[in-house]
Amino acid sequence: MSSAATPQNNAFLTELARLVGSSHLLTDPAKTQRYRKGFRSGHGDALAVVFPGTLLELWRVLSACVEADKIILMQAANTGLTEGSTPSGNDYDREIVIISTLRLDKLHLLSKGEQVLAFPGTTLYSLEKALKPFGREPHSVIGSSCIGASVIGGICNNSGGSLVQRGPAYTEMSLFAQIDESGRLRLVNHLGIDLGTTPEQILSRLDDDRIKDEDVLHDGRHAHDHDYVNRVRDVTADTPARYNADPDRLFESSGCAGKLAVFAARLDTFPAEKRQQVFYIGSNRPEVLTEIRRHILAEFNNLPVAGEYMHRDIYDIAERYGKDTFLMIDKLGTDKMPFFFTMKGRTDAMLEKCRCLSRTSPTALCKKSVTFSRRTCRSE
């Protein structure tokens, strides 16, 4: 979809710049490249990338996009894990506006850390850090947390595929915008928190952290997948414990996969495991691993926090191509990973401009440096 400089588009972009400030609006394809291209896959054109700084700004940007009949693509960390955070091709019937929520990275702890109110840009890492003094953890503390993945992104995609105790990310309490049958944008407050009635009242109170304990209701709605343990233990069931687009795990923001614009989600947190141990079990016979899995799920008093199958090929791929990431985590810690992935995205976008350097990506350089160091160590 081409982004022609029509009078209508010019007026629309002028309005976006007025709403968020010209420094928080990108239209140059060279500058929007890293937001239009997924970290792992996905790529396409976009008319603009917008960076609202408050929830109220986000609401006004959404309203302008709906009024201008643009496709809205909500984006947080752009990890590319689901290919849902970037355009995919250029065969859309309308122009796309990417709304980046990176600036909306606040969070609000409720009930002494037992729950959290996550904003669109809240990352798993920042939530993990905020909960540490309370001896608690977010739903997921592995995998995508290392690359700065957002909490809301996990809810929208029911993430947490390897989590055995906690299951997929899920909540029945969120604040979201949707387009109704008449084509109008509506804000729906199902957070269980009394914040007012109009969008301006609701969003301003969240932006200003004006949340009182007495405003928070506890009405029995769930803020995590509370019965997953029972399902995953039923190893004789005819249906899997979880699968993509499971209708029982689709509830408003949970599993919406971008069909709603999520402003906030209320989620449970979990006591941190004080004693943990990782076990690697290898076998040349898959049926052995199947029997071990069934026995653990059905017979163990305490389920593993997480479990994952790894084919031998994946192990070999990680051994060859994953050492740069391993070394960074080992020497610098996971808290530095989002910064490096952001820098990688920016560098990739810059190198794309130069044909002679387009194949000299940061990833390739890291692989070569690790290979060189490995050979040097062996020669010594």
- DSSP states along 29-69: HHHHHHHHB-SSS-B---SEEE--SSHHHHHHHHHHHHHTT
Residue 98's beta-bridge partner residues? 49, 73
Q: Does residue 95 share a domain with residue 197?
A: no
In a domain, 286, yes or no: no
pLDDT of residue 66: 98
- Position 168: which residue type? P
Angle between helices 55-67 and 7-20 in degrees, nearest 10: 170
Reduce the DSSP state of residue 252 to 3 states and report it: coil
Supply the range of the domain harboring residue 212: 107-271
Q: How far is 88 from 34, CA to CA, in rounded Å? A: 14
Domain final position from 46, 70, 100? 100
Q: Does residue 128 share a domain with residue 196?
A: yes
Closest among 3, 26, 2, 33 to 352, alpha carbons compared: 33
User: Which run of H or E residues covers position 287?
Assistant: helix 286-299
Residue 36 near residue 46 (C-beta atoms within 8 A): yes
Number of domains in the chain: 3
**Sign of the CA dihedral 179, 152, 347, 368?**
negative
Q: Does residue 139 share a domain with residue 84?
A: no
Angle between helices 323-332 and 337-352 in degrees, nearest 10: 140
Here the tokens at position 187 are 């804000």
In a domain, 298, yes or no: no
Q: Does residue 171 share a domain with residue 24?
A: no
Q: Does residue 121 share a domain with residue 74?
A: no
Per-residue model confidence as pLDDT tens digits over 6-44 = 999 999 999 999 999 999 999 999 999 989 988 777 899
For the chain, the first-to-last Cα distance in angstroms comes to 55
Q: Does residue 121 share a domain with residue 66?
A: no
Angle between helices 55-67 and 199-207 in degrees, nearest 10: 140
Domain final position from 100, 134, 151? 100
CATH code for the domain of 127:
3.30.465.10
In a domain, 224, yes or no: yes
Domain final position from 100, 135, 169? 100
pLDDT of residue 273: 85
Give CA 230 to chain center in angstroms.
Answer: 26
Per-residue model confidence as pLDDT tens digits over 130-142 = 999 999 999 887 6
pLDDT of residue 380: 44
Q: How far is CA 91 from CA 31, 37, 118, 288, in A?
A: 22, 16, 34, 47
Q: What is the C-alpha radius of gyration for the chain, rounded to an integer number of angstroms?
A: 22
Residue 367 near residue 324 (C-beta atoms within 8 A): yes
Q: Does residue 207 share a domain with residue 141?
A: yes
Here the tokens at position 108 are 């609000």
> What phi-psi label fits residue 136: left (phi over 0), alpha (psi between -120 and 50 degrees) or beta?
beta
Tokens 């799920």 label which residue?
Answer: 297
Q: Does residue 245 share a domain with residue 349?
A: no
Q: How far is 79 from 96, CA to CA, in rounded Å? A: 19
Residue 183 backbone phi and psi in degrees, to 5? 85, 10
In a domain, 295, yes or no: no
In a domain, 75, yes or no: yes
Q: Does residue 123 share a domain with residue 75?
A: no
Q: Does residue 122 share a domain with residue 87?
A: no
Residue 118 near residue 267 (C-beta atoms within 8 A): yes
pLDDT of residue 355: 62
Q: Does residue 254 share a domain with residue 361?
A: no
Q: Does residue 367 share a domain with residue 252?
A: no
- Position 53: which residue type? G
Closest among 329, 310, 272 to 147, alpha carbons compared: 329
In a domain, 223, yes or no: yes
In a domain, 290, yes or no: no
Here the tokens at position 116 are 């959290």
Q: Point out the residues of the chain with pLDDT beneath 70.
A: 1-4, 80-82, 142-147, 334, 338, 345, 349, 353-380
In a domain, 68, yes or no: yes
Closest among 266, 39, 38, 272 to 141, alpha carbons compared: 272
CATH code for the domain of 46:
3.30.43.10
* HSE (side-chain half, CA atoms, 13 Å) at 331: 6
Q: How many residues does the chain have?
A: 380
Q: How far is 376 from 244, CA to CA, in rounded Å? A: 45
